[in-house]
Structure 1
Amino acid sequence: MSDFQKNARAAEAAMRHVFDATPLQRNEHLSERYDANILLKREDLTPVRSYKLRGAFNAMRKVLAAASTAPTFVCASAGNHAQGVAFMCRHFGVQGVIYMPITTPQQKIGKTRIFGGDNVRIELTGDYFDVTLAAAQEYCTRIGAHFLSPFDDEDVIEGQASVMVEIERDLGGMPDHIVMPVGGGGLSAGVCSYVGDRAEITLVEPAGGASLHAALMAGTPVRLDHVNTFADGAAVAQIGVRTFERLRHFDPGQAISVDENRLCTTMIEMLNIEGIVLEPAGALAVDALKDMRNRIRGKTVVCVTSGGNFDFERLPEVKERAQRHSGVKKYFILRMPQRPGALKDFLNLLGPDDDIARFEYLKKSARNFGSVLIGIETSNENNFVRLLEAFKSAGFDYRDITDDDILAEFLI
């Protein structure tokens, strides 16, 4: 047994004085769909609804064990790391300062305050995370505090590896395949270092923040020019230096990128069928199974559902993205004749399963015609084949803007 494995086991044992191990649950729905033994490691069921408190606990306990005087702990985070650090500051009875962007939703700020209580002060600084991070690090330097990285720290990596310690114990050995999300790399670096070559591993990142794939292709961490923050728990501009050193041996083919809109279909499915609330990053591993069907058939597969901090105010957006990806909702700019009966003629083209979800006159583009933004939902994507043919036959000019990101941003 390696020193890393021993340390990860020691960290996991120490955690039991603070919070219970998360369950490893067989999922019948997914197992039947993929003809495999699919188990979910429910990190969405920790006290802070993500695995992040594991790394925070391990790093803080080591710092406190080595220090003669407890330092102030500082972090920069808009989400799960902030909540994990706040929870552990209260547990250890130490002071913490958590820097969060001004744009952080009140729900996340409120939960961080609840977990930290009087042991935590929240500083809202900067519109963007890079500004927030710089402010936190400058504060650390100025007062001599201890900065807690969300992932690029050896003790944090070791703490996140406790996820795998629990999986191995519950299974009585290694699964055939492990699927987990990767953002900054703390969880994946810890689990991969603990597993070694004893199981096959697939890492999953959002397509709009595929920093691991970029690093594997370049041979070194690189900063992405643009990051889609929808899956904010895993969408980072650059993977950690320390974490990448533990992941650089991966083949780029072992890092799957998942489309954010498709990810929404999995979030909705898990909520509606299983009653499991997952944040976008927490659903990455489950969604990736869609690309792995032939590789996992007949095998025991563990998917790490890394977090469930989902603000239900985002549910309409998630449903919208899921419908657009599934092809059952589309948006059009329609050129409508300005004559009596034109709207009725258009409505008569709709089938029994077609529903108008949005109807808005934009402006009159000519005296005899007007532009209309229209959103249509239907029960089956194939219904649009018939409907669009009907548009053409009736002489209604249209433009499908469903996948036009620029127009959608302004109009939808």
Structure 2
Amino acid sequence: MIDRPAIAAARQQLVARPDFLRTTPLMRLSGRSLGVDCAEVWLKLEHLQVGGSFKARGMLYRLLANPVPDSGVIIASGGNAGIAVAAAAQALGVRCEVFVPEVSPEAKRQRLRALGAEVVVTGAAYAQAYEACVARQQATGALQAHAYDQPEVVAGAGTLALEIEEQARRLPDSVLVSVGGGGLIGGVAAWVESRARVIALEPERAPTLHAARTAGQPVDMEVGGIAADSLGARRIGALGWAVSQRHVHDALLLPDDAIRAAQLWLWKELKLAVEPAAALGLAALQTGTYRPAPHETVALILCGANFDPASLC
């Protein structure tokens, strides 16, 4: 189980690399300015993190906490985790190989190559890319990083919530978290525990946590939709699932059109260019899928920005 001491330990190692990780801004706005009937909305601008997503935290910690062989590090990723591993590997001077599914955007593949990673495109979805990655790791002995289901990855993600609490000098009343494989919500919920509500948000076409809660255990799902490149894991990770059973208040679903509308709103109104996965929190507020109380402070995590900005036009 990932817990607050594990996240604090991750933070200790990560702050030793201030040349790599960034302390991302916390934008605090009135609920009214976003058209929401609540006291405040906090936007954690994690899309400004190294590599363009929160993944840099867990991936750097994975590499710092383990010896990396000459064959380097290897990962299967829809894009963001691979970019984070590639950036960390470049900073540490180690080799990196990334397996991406065919659904991954070309913009993310180009970014991986620019960071010096060897990119292998294989499989229609993440699951097939992951199988190919495992076979390659067994042949080379490279250190394998997992996009969302390793203790270092989840604990590293949890440092984001720790940072929010430090910046605001308190926790919000609720935190809305986009969910793919469960690494981010596992880390956030493990830090927050019962001190605030943690709400999981998923696209209707990629409901892995919602389906697991309904079934009482992780189950495989067919996934697709606007955010599939980031939130397209077919099954919730074991670590994220374990934490969510204890500390996640609810799991809500959002349609693609609401996610897209929120993504465009963030750009047009706040000039924040984020990928669809980062827009679920605002979509939940704008659609009333999550209805905060008038006195409530809500935190949204803008988790990534690895997409083609031309799509905002």
Considering the TM-score relative to the shorter chain, is it more than 0.5?
Answer: yes
Alignment of 1:131-210 (within 5 A): 131-210=128-207
Contact 2:70/2:142 (CA < 8 Å) preserved in 1?
Answer: no
Q: Kindly indicate whether structure 1 or structure 2 has the higher relative contact order, using CA contacts under 8 Å at least 6 residues apart.
A: 2
- How far apart, in 1, do the equivalents of 2:193 and 2:104 lie? 37
Contact 1:15/1:57 (CA < 8 Å) preserved in 2?
Answer: no
The offset of 1:15, in angstroms, is: 4.5
Secondary structure of the equivalent of 2:292? helix
**CA distance 1:263–1:294, change in 2 (3 Å):** closer
The offset of 1:16, in angstroms, is: 2.6
Contact 2:190/2:247 (CA < 8 Å) preserved in 1?
Answer: no
Q: In the alignment, is residue 91 of structure 1 matched against residue 116 of structure 2?
A: no
Secondary structure of the equivalent of 1:180? strand
Secondary structure of the equivalent of 1:6? helix
The offset of 1:243, in angstroms, is: 1.7
The offset of 1:81, in angstroms, is: 0.9
Contact 1:30/1:38 (CA < 8 Å) preserved in 2?
Answer: no
1:108: which partner in 2? Answer: 108
Identity of aligned residues (%): 27
Secondary structure of the equivalent of 2:27? strand
- How far apart, in 2, do the equivalents of 1:102 and 1:299 lie? 41
The offset of 1:101, in angstroms, is: 2.9
- How far apart, in 2, do the equivalents of 1:269 and 1:2 lie? 34
The offset of 1:245, in angstroms, is: 1.2
TM-superposition CA deviations, 1:125-177 (whole Å, max 9, x none): 23433322111100101121121100010110010011011101101121111
Structure with the bigger percentage of strand: 1
2:294: which partner in 1? Answer: 297
The offset of 1:31, in angstroms, is: 4.5
Q: In the alignment, is residue 227 of structure 1 matched against residue 227 of structure 2?
A: no
Secondary structure of the equivalent of 2:231? coil
TM-superposition CA deviations, 1:68-125 (whole Å, max 9, x none): x5552101123111110110110111111111234543322111111x22xx222222
Give the AA of the match of 2:100. M
- How far apart, in 2, do the equivalents of 1:202 and 1:259 lie? 16
**CA distance 1:301–1:104, change in 2 (3 Å):** closer
Secondary structure of the equivalent of 2:235? coil
The offset of 1:313, in angstroms, is: 4.4
2:28: which partner in 1? Answer: 26
Deviates more, 1:70-79 or 1:214-223: 70-79
The offset of 1:29, in angstroms, is: 6.7
Aligned match of 1:265 in 242, 261, 265?
261
- How far apart, in 2, do the equivalents of 1:72 and 1:222 lie? 32
- State the aligned residue count: 308
1:58: which partner in 2? Answer: 61
Contact 1:55/1:155 (CA < 8 Å) preserved in 2?
Answer: yes
TM-superposition CA deviations, 1:270-306 (whole Å, max 9, x none): 1111111121101011111132664332222211111
1:237: which partner in 2? Answer: 234
Contact 1:182/1:205 (CA < 8 Å) preserved in 2?
Answer: yes
**CA distance 1:14–1:161, change in 2 (3 Å):** farther
> TM-score of the superposition, structure 2-length normalised?
0.91
- How far apart, in 2, do the equivalents of 1:47 and 1:32 lie? 27
Secondary structure of the equivalent of 1:25? strand
The offset of 1:4, in angstroms, is: 2.2
**CA distance 1:36–1:70, change in 2 (3 Å):** farther
- How far apart, in 2, do the equivalents of 1:257 and 1:42 lie? 22
Aligned match of 1:43 in 41, 46, 51?
46
Contact 1:219/1:248 (CA < 8 Å) preserved in 2?
Answer: no
Secondary structure of the equivalent of 1:208? coil
2:123: which partner in 1? Answer: 126
Gaps of 5+ in 1: 317-412
* CA-based RMSD: 2.1
**CA distance 1:307–1:132, change in 2 (3 Å):** same
**CA distance 1:256–1:102, change in 2 (3 Å):** closer
Give the AA of the match of 1:287. A
Alignment of 1:373-388 (within 5 A): none
> TM-score of the superposition, structure 1-length normalised?
0.70
Alignment of 1:261-410 (within 5 A): 261-290=257-286, 291=288, 294-315=291-312
Contact 2:89/2:96 (CA < 8 Å) preserved in 1?
Answer: yes
Runs (4 or more) in structure 1 with deviation over 4 Å come to 28-32
Contact 2:252/2:289 (CA < 8 Å) preserved in 1?
Answer: no
- How far apart, in 2, do the equivalents of 1:131 and 1:32 lie? 40
Secondary structure of the equivalent of 1:302? strand
- How far apart, in 1, do the equivalents of 2:306 and 2:66 lie? 28
Contact 1:183/1:234 (CA < 8 Å) preserved in 2?
Answer: yes
**CA distance 1:171–1:113, change in 2 (3 Å):** same
